[in-house]
């Protein structure tokens, strides 16, 4: 059987994040990728110029077209900028009984541009977190989701992960790449256990799309049948290598993308 993963996210016209990053990640990791586009962004390495939200009935039609035909093994959810999109995707997950769901709660682009409407945050927590196998917030997203200050250490990261589990998340991967430290430490927390994933930080400005890439890589691992902790470990290794090779690319005049095909080019 061909492993298949679907990304439900926004399009990045610059190719470094969103749907484009997810499909590149799936391809690099040996998984067939399909997509449901929730928003179209006019975006490059320097920022987001415009966002057009795809109408909910078109999102639903994409979901039904894919899941009625493809044997989908995993789903990655990224940018859902408005409440109607969140409700539509939640209903689609229920309709097609998807269990291997990776939720990346995208709120702000690498450039600093907001991608999630303020009134959509509560719905994301209520309607999508309980439907996901794993939620993958960075430090800023974890703080917003829990209504607490930015975590300053691993103990506070763990506390925020526990708070998200109390809200219905089955597992939480809090990504510590934005912390002021020499190591990029991610914590995978479930109701029963916690695991720590660490990698040396790489000095490069070219980190556009890292969050999208990591969540897509986890979905790729799940699509191939890996247990959750193994999928997270493999995804962390892939993203670290993609960041390390990012300076081999020359894309745009702002923070460039990670190198999704570092093993091939």
- Spatial contact of 79 and 38, defined as CB atoms under 8 Å apart: yes
Residue tagged 């996210």 (tokens): 9
For residue 168, indicate whether it is catalytic. Answer: no
Catalytic residue among 10, 14, 18, 211: 211
* 210 classed as catalytic: yes
Distant-in-sequence, close-in-space partners of 48: CB < 8 Å, separation ≥ 6: 41, 42, 109, 111, 113, 115
Closest residue by Cα to residue 89 from 75, 100, 108: 75
Classify residue 226 as exposed, middle or buried by CB count within 10 Å of its CB (0-12, 13-18, 19+).
middle
Nearest CA to 146 among 132, 131, 162, 134?
162
Helix (H) or strand (E) holding 41: strand 32-44
Catalytic residue among 212, 213, 221, 240: 212
Catalytic residue among 209, 221, 236, 240: 209
Respond yes or no: is residue 254 known to be catalytic.
no
User: Which of 41, 45, 207, 213 is flagged as catalytic?
Assistant: 207
Residue of 175, 176, 213, 256 with catalytic role: 175
Residue 58 to residue 36: CA distance in whole angstroms: 9
What is the rounded distance in angstroms from the CA atom of residue 238 to the CA atom of residue 187? 17
Residue 87 is a catalytic residue:
no
The catalytic site residues sit at 175, 207, 209-212
């Amino acid at each position: 059987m061909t492993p298949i993963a679907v990304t439900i996210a926004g399009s990045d016209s610059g190719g470094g994040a969103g749907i484009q990053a997810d499909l590149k990640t799936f391809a690099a990791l040996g998984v067939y990728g399909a997509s449901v586009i929730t928003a179209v962004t006019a975006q490059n390495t320097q920022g987001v110029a415009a966002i057009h939200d795809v109408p909910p009935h078109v999102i639903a039609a994409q979901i039904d077209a894919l899941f009625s035909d493809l044997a989908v093994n995993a789903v990655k959810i990224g940018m859902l900028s408005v409440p109607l999109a969140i409700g539509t995707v939640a209903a689609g997950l229920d309709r097609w009984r998807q269990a291997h769901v990776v939720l990346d709660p995208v709120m702000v682009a690498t450039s600093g541009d907001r991608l999630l409407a303020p009134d959509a945050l509560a719905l994301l927590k209520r309607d999508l977190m309980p439907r996901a196998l794993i939620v993958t917030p960075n430090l800023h997203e974890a703080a917003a989701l829990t209504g607490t200050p930015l975590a300053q250490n691993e103990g506070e990261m763990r506390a925020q992960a526990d708070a998200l589990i109390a809200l219905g998340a089955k597992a939480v991967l809090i990504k510590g790449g934005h912390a002021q430290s020499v190591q990029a430490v991610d914590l995978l927390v479930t109701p029963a256990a916690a695991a720590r994933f660490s990698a040396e930080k790489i000095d490069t400005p070219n980190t556009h799309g890292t969050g999208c890439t990591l969540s897509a890589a986890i979905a790729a691992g799940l699509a191939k049948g890996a247990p959750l902790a193994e999928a997270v470990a493999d995804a962390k290794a892939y993203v670290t290598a993609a960041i390390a090779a990012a300076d081999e690319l020359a894309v745009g005049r702002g923070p460039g993308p990670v190198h999704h095909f570092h093993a091939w080019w």
